[in-house]
Copies of this chain bind each other. A is one copy, B any other.
Amino acid sequence: MKTTRLEAFSDGVLAIIITIMVLELKVPHVVELAALKPMLPHFLSYVLSFIYLGIYWNNHHHLFQAAKQVSGGILWANLHLLFWLSLFPFATDWMGENRLASTPTAVYGFVLLMAAIAYYILERVIIAREGRGSLLPLAFVNSWIAGGLYAFVAFLWLIPDPRIERQLEKH
């Protein structure tokens, strides 16, 4: 199998995942601008997932420039990656709707982690087939993912903890 059809299929899945997340942004029933304020955590979750998926799409493309042919192993490692990425809309939605409460945020982090592991497996499978020459894009990819994780942590600290806020609202 040539890599082109696998890339086209992955592009399709990624394009859909990145777009259907916006369906979860429920339209408020009021027409005031203030109605958008409680949506802010959800919106920021959407932005974050959009960036993550953009990074994955970017890296995915670079990775498959290293691959010449698609074996059964590469195909399933790729589907495994797409599976974890397909859970992004669900995890984003749960985290966003609950204003970044700790459990949904941990689940989101878990999906992120599993996607990173799936990506790593895909890399290894391609390297095992293509040889050491394909090691080149690896460092590039890892630094991107690392950068993304740093941005994620930073993002968590920028938003005031909703549990603290709720405590404050009680008093």
Residue A151, interface by CB 8 Å: no
Contact across chains for B13 and A15 when beta carbons are under 8 A apart:
yes
In the complex, what residues of B have CB within 8 A of residue A90's CB? 22, 25, 27
In the complex, what residues of B have CB within 8 A of residue A101's CB? 31
Contact across chains for A50 and B86 when beta carbons are under 8 A apart:
yes
Residue A36, interface by CB 8 Å: yes
- Map CB proximity to B onto A1-23 as digits: 1 under 8 Å, 0 otherwise: 10001011101111111111011
Contact across chains for B16 and A20 when beta carbons are under 8 A apart:
yes
Interface size counted on chain A using CB atoms at 8 A = 54
* Residues of A contacting B: mostly: helix
Distance, CA A75 to CA B140, complexed state (A): 15
Contact across chains for B103 and A32 when beta carbons are under 8 A apart:
yes
Interchain nearest-CB distance for A91 vs B (Å): 9
Interchain nearest-CB distance for A53 vs B (Å): 9
- Map CB proximity to B onto A136-170 as digits: 1 under 8 Å, 0 otherwise: 00000000000000000000000000000000000
In the complex, what residues of B have CB within 8 A of residue A1's CB? 61-62, 65
In the complex, what residues of B have CB within 8 A of residue A13's CB? 15, 18-19
Distance, CA A8 to CA B90, complexed state (A): 25
Known: A32-B103, A33-B103, A54-B79. A19 touches B22 (CB 8 A): no
